[in-house]
């Protein structure tokens, strides 16, 4: 069964054909097979089967200075001839068994020990008689043993994908790299206690994964120490690379042609970016990280081999993973649309958060191209984000829309601008990093003195650059707001416009992260500005009504003068009310506060005048035509202000209709 599977892989097949080495080559190979804890680079590089790798670490067993006698050598050869040939992949007995390591872990341990002893025997033979026929026998046995282990290695990799997934590999990162074989290879059908003792805190799935990883590790160590590392890692790379590529495919990471990407609609790209951010986190922290841990574990006997192996597995996949952010950054470098800034900041934040893991996973020099791509992408995203901010600033400056709300309500530009700036504030960490490198060229000393941005206790980020820039954008907008207010023909309506829009600005800051960035000082000063707009509105809108009444210090009026004052007050109030009743104050609290303020200034003055001079005119048969309304009616009229229409429902509806009817203006009718 295994032979059929194995023969299907032509790439592997070419490596398992026994080498036809001359006797001198055998001697050279035997000399390269040492028993110390490390092997020199020169010995390894001279091996015909492993010339591409510079060095390796052998198994810790069998130190060089250990006594090895002639009888021990012969015993090792005799044992190897029996055990290794038994598991010869070309023998009939082996073909009946799926896997040595599956068949019996005890016999697998025996096989590994036999290969170790054979290696020691070969070293002894070289030192005693390099032309011995026994050396030829030893070399043939070694080739059979390596062919067996290579097939076992391939079989374990192929049939244990579930136990070697990235999550499982990551879960083994804390297991000691020196003791797995000694613990797990002792396990067989009759010896379950050892495994239970070694894995008390490990789940059943992790135990299985640990066994598989242990098997791969001991096979790799044995093959590398015997000079067959190249054959070993070819199988490993073939299978594990396909798993990584498949993992990226399942995460939705596909290669995209640049020409096709440039034609994509932004709506499609937004969806791709959203999916990529989720996929990238899994890809880096689970897929690549788990693969690196597995590779480091299996090839712990040789750092060089482990690095080379992981490089060939992960390099292409890593570059493919970070292709999308690079394409987005390049696209936006040519086309700056300020509304796209948020997806670019999402990309930047996601990659920045992953950077420590990226550095750890792609730490080898051979994988520097992946880190270079990531850093280049971050730089391009930074530049694009900054250009979007500049474009937004320019857009506010150049806005020339003439459309204004006739009732002085909140302008469309106010809503879009403040919503945009509020959303920017949620990315203060990203913006702080970018704006620190791109400070405002405008003299911001006066701007900085205008507010005190607090240092947030829960953030270890210097928000000053971000605070200054957002304050600047709001200032630019408020200047544009002043310009738009001047477009109103009526000054009082201009102030209503400023009141409404300043209130919207203040509310947006107060209810968003902007409050933390701009601080209480900023809010206090802008609320004071809002109050001053409201006061100026009262003066410009209602001053003529107040001055129509006589001053308290003036001499007592005659009936004729009192009649004139009543007429003058009625005309002034009717005119002001007609104009102001069409205005709107959007904020309910502000609307009520402004009405109360007007009532407090107007009604007491009128009540005093009304109560003082009305008795003087009671003999006049036209009194009801001269005195339009009582003080209480005045409050009712004012209560209907700032809803945006002069015709209102409520207690004073009939009064309002009567006040503004044509007959009312002609005969000065009185409304009780």
Confidence of residue 211 (pLDDT cuts 50, 70, 90): confident
Q: What is the mean pLDDT of residues 447-459?
A: 50
Whether residue 78 sits in one domain with residue 211: yes
DSSP state of 69: -
Whether residue 220 sits in one domain with residue 113: yes
Q: Looking at the domain assignment, is residue 313 inside a domain?
A: no
DSSP state of 401: -
pLDDT digits (tens, 9 = 90+) for 613-633: 888 776 655 666 666 678 888
* Cβ-contact 384, 344 below 8 angstroms: yes
Q: What is the mean pLDDT of residues 167-192?
A: 47
pLDDT at 462 exceeding the cut of 60 = yes
Share of the chain above pLDDT 90, in %: 35
Whether residue 465 sits in one domain with residue 418: yes
Q: What is the mean pLDDT of residues 319-348?
A: 86
Whether residue 578 sits in one domain with residue 486: no
| Nearest partner of 447 among 420, 480, 469, judged by Cα | 469
| Crossing angle for the helix pair 514-547 and 588-613, to the nearest 10 degrees | 20
Query: Whole-number mean pLDDT of the chain?
Result: 77
At 533, which CATH number? 1.10.357
DSSP state of 668: T
pLDDT at 197 exceeding the cut of 80 = no
492, 515, 537 - which closes a domain? 537
DSSP state of 485: H
Whether residue 475 sits in one domain with residue 612: no
Phi, psi (rounded to 5 degrees) for 456:
-75, 130
pLDDT at 166 exceeding the cut of 80 = no
pLDDT at 172 exceeding the cut of 70 = no
Q: Looking at the domain assignment, is residue 460 inside a domain?
A: yes
Q: Looking at the domain assignment, is residue 337 inside a domain?
A: no
Whether residue 571 sits in one domain with residue 466: no
Q: Looking at the domain assignment, is residue 103 inside a domain?
A: yes
pLDDT at 81 exceeding the cut of 50 = yes
Whether residue 581 sits in one domain with residue 519: no
Six-digit token string for 342: 């948020």
pLDDT of amino acid 646: 54
Measured between alpha carbons, how far apart are the two ends of the chain, in Å?
108
pLDDT at 667 exceeding the cut of 50 = no
pLDDT at 278 exceeding the cut of 50 = yes
Identify the bridge partners of residue 588 per DSSP, sorted by sequence position. none
pLDDT digits (tens, 9 = 90+) for 552-606: 766 788 888 888 888 888 889 888 988 888 889 999 999 999 999 999 989 998 8
Whether residue 412 sits in one domain with residue 488: yes
The span from the CA of 307 to the CA of 367, in Å, is 9
Domain count of the chain? Answer: 3
Whether residue 219 sits in one domain with residue 146: yes
Residue 635 domain boundaries = 549-640
Q: Looking at the domain assignment, is residue 464 inside a domain?
A: yes
How much is the pTM? 0.74
Q: Looking at the domain assignment, is residue 579 inside a domain?
A: yes
pLDDT of amino acid 407: 87
Q: Looking at the domain assignment, is residue 482 inside a domain?
A: yes
pLDDT digits (tens, 9 = 90+) for 41-60: 333 333 333 333 233 233 33
Residue 301, classed as helix, strand or coil, is coil
Whether residue 529 sits in one domain with residue 553: no
Q: Looking at the domain assignment, is residue 600 inside a domain?
A: yes
* Cβ-contact 478, 505 below 8 angstroms: yes
- Of 44-48, 215-219, 472-476, 584-588, give the lowest mean pLDDT range: 44-48
Whether residue 555 sits in one domain with residue 524: no
Share of the chain above pLDDT 70, in %: 72
Question: Could you tell me where the DSSP H helices lie in 486-558?
Answer: 491-510, 514-547
Whether residue 576 sits in one domain with residue 532: no
């Amino acid at each position: 069964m295994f032979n059929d599977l194995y023969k299907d892989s032509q790439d592997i097949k070419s490596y398992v054909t026994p080498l036809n080495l001359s006797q001198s080559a055998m001697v050279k190979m035997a000399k390269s097979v040492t028993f110390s804890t490390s092997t020199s680079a020169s010995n390894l590089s001279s091996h015909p089967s492993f010339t591409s790798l510079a060095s390796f670490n052998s198994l810790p067993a069998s130190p060089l200075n250990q006594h090895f006698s002639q009888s021990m050598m012969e015993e090792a050869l005799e044992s190897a001839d029996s055990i290794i040939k038994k598991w010869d992949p070309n023998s009939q007995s082996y073909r009946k068994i799926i896997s040595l390591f599956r068949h019996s872990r005890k016999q697998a341990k025996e096989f590994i020990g036999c290969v170790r002893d054979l290696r020691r025997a070969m070293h002894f033979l070289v030192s005693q008689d390099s032309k011995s026929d026994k050396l030829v026998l030893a070399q043939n046995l070694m080739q059979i043993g390596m062919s067996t282990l290579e097939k076992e290695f391939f079989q374990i990799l192929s049939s244990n994908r579930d136990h070697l997934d990235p999550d499982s590999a990551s879960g083994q990162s804390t297991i000691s790299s020196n003791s797995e074989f000694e613990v797990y290879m002792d396990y067989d059908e009759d010896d379950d206690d050892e495994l239970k003792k070694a894995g008390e805190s490990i789940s059943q799935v992790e135990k299985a994964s640990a066994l598989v990883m242990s098997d791969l590790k001991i096979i790799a160590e044995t093959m590398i120490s015997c000079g067959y590392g190249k054959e070993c890692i070819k199988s490993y790379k073939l299978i594990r690379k396909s798993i990584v590529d498949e993992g990226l495919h399942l995460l939705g990471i596909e290669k995209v042609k640049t020409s096709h990407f440039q034609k994509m609609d932004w709506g499609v790209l937004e969806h791709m970016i959203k999916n990529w951010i989720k996929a990238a986190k899994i890809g880096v922290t689970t897929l690549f990280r788990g693969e690196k841990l597995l590779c480091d574990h299996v090839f712990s006997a040789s750092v060089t081999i482990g690095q080379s192996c992981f490089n060939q597995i992960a390099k292409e996949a890593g570059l493919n993973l970070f292709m999308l952010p690079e394409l987005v950054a390049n696209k936006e470098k040519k086309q700056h649309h300020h509304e796209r800034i948020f997806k670019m900041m999402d990309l930047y934040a996601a990659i920045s958060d992953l950077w420590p893991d990226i550095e750890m996973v792609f730490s080898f020099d051979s994988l520097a191209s992946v880190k270079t791509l990531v850093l280049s992408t971050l730089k391009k995203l930074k530049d694009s984000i900054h250009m979007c901010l500049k474009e937004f600033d320019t857009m506010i400056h150049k806005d020339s829309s003439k459309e204004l709300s006739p009732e002085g309500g909140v302008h469309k530009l106010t809503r879009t601008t403040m919503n945009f700036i509020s959303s920017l504030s949620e990315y203060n960490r990203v913006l702080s990093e970018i704006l620190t490198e791109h400070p405002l060229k405008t003299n911001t000393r006066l701007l900085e003195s205008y507010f005190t941005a607090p240092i947030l206790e829960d953030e270890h980020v210097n928000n000053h650059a971000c605070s200054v820039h957002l304050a600047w954008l709001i200032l630019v907008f408020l200047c544009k707001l002043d310009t738009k207010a001047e477009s109103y023909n009526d000054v009082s309506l201009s102030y209503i416009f400023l009141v409404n829009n300043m209130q919207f600005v203040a509310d947006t800051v107060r209810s968003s992260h902007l409050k933390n960035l701009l601080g209480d000082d900023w809010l206090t000063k802008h609320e004071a500005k809002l109050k001053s707009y409201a006061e100026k509105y009262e003066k410009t809108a209602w001053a003529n009504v107040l001055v129509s009444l006589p001053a308290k210090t003036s001499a007592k009026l005659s009936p004729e003068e009192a009649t004139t004052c009543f007429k003058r007050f009625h005309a002034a109030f009717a005119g002001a009310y007609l104009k102001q009743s069409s205005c709107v104050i959007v904020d309910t609290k502000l609307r009520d506060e402004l009405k109360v303020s007007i009532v407090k200034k107007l009604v007491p003055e009128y009540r005093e005048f009304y109560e003082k001079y009305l008795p003087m005119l009671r003999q006049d048969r036209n009194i009801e035509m001269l005195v339009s309304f009582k003080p209480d009616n005045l409050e009712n009229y004012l209560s209907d202000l700032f809803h945006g229409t002069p015709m209102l429902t409520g207690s004073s509806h009939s009064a309002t209709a009567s006040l503004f009817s044509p007959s009312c203006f002609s005969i000065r009718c009185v409304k009780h």
